[in-house]
Chains A and B, each alone.
Chain A
Amino acid sequence: SSELTQDPAVSVALGQTVRITCQGDSLRNYYASWYQQKPGQAPILVIYSKNNRPSGIPDRFSGSSSENTASLTITGAQAEDEADYYCNSRDRSGNHHWVFGGGTKLTVL
């Protein structure tokens, strides 16, 4: 099992807001990054350093963090947001090792 825990699946109605969470001890000390992966494609970075968006990522994507939990929020989910989402951070040792959450399958209804 992963050091970062995500719900396997989440659904949201089109246009509504959804929060995807990631829990882990390392998140008390390190920020999470979030990645979107669509079938057959490489992951793309959507949030880094808790709540920063790379160029080209829509502003409906946002991040937050509290204690051992990081969250990715999509405000006004669109059909094209249907994908797998992964969080990542350093592992709990604090060494230069990185881990990913198990991923959350987001379905937009």
Chain B
Amino acid sequence: QVQLQESGPGLVKPSQTLTLTCTVSGGSISSRNYYWSWIRQPAGKGLEWIGRIYTTGSTNYNPSLRSRVTISEDTSKNQFSLRLSSVTAADTAVYYCARLTYYYESFDYWGQGILVTVSS
């Protein structure tokens, strides 16, 4: 059974960089059958796709966040990470990591989510 677990600070100051890590168990992030994604959800609002990474190291980002986002992977630890720079209060949200199937393009496994608050 695949499991994803987000980790990182729950509080980030404005203008700083938010960094989160997703640890995957029960499956390899090096698999060619999946992309690995970050998704966020502000309180009381809908889901927003942030970006994804593939085993080749290729990445794609939401155009609205592209200038501030970096997703990277550490295959030795079976982890992938999110960096979001120059954060503001608008970046306060629950952040999810999720597995995106290559063939059907659906998010089939999700982490439990981590609340990140941007505040001084």
Interface positions of A (Cβ within 8 A of B): 2, 30-31, 33, 35, 42-45, 48-49, 52, 54, 86, 88-90, 95-103
Q: Which of A42, A54, A86, A98 contacts B113 (CB 8 A)?
A: A42
Partner among A45, A86, A90, A97 whose Cβ is within 8 Å of the Cβ of B47: A86
Q: Are B107 and A97 in contact (CB under 8 A)?
A: no
Contact with A along B33-75 (1 / 0, CB 8 A): 0000101000000111100100000001111000000000000
Question: Known contacts A42-B113, A96-B52, A97-B63; is A33 also within 8 Å of B104 by CB?
Answer: yes
Given contacts A95-B60, A97-B63, contact A43 B106 (CB under 8 A): no
Do A103 and B60 touch across chains, with their CB atoms under 8 A apart? no
1/0 contact trace for B98-109 toward A, CB 8 Å? 001100111110
**Cβ-neighbour of A97 out of B60, B101, B113 (below 8 A):** B60
B46 near A100: Cβ-Cβ < 8 Å: yes
- A28 CB → nearest B CB, Å: 15
Residues of A within 8 A of B80 (CB): none
Verify B110–A44 contact, CB threshold 8 A.
yes
Number of A-B contacts (CB under 8 A): 62
**B111 interface residue (CB < 8 Å to A):** yes
With beta carbons under 8 angstroms apart, the residue of A33, A96, A101 that contacts B106 is: A33
- B112 contact set on A, CB distance < 8 A: 42
Q: A48–B104 contact, CB under 8 A?
A: yes
Q: Given known contacts A2-B46, A98-B100, A101-B46, is B107 in contact with A45 (CB within 8 Å)?
A: yes
In the complex, chain A residues whose CB is within 8 Å of the CB of B39: 100
Cα distance, A45 to B60, chains bound together (Å): 22
8 A–B contacts, CB within 8 A, in A order: A2-B46, A33-B104, A35-B47, A42-B113, A44-B110, A48-B101, A86-B47, A100-B48
Chain A nearest CB from B82 CB (Å) reads 15
Chain B residues, CB < 8 A from A97: 49, 60-63
- Structural contact, A52 and B104, CB atoms closer than 8 A: yes
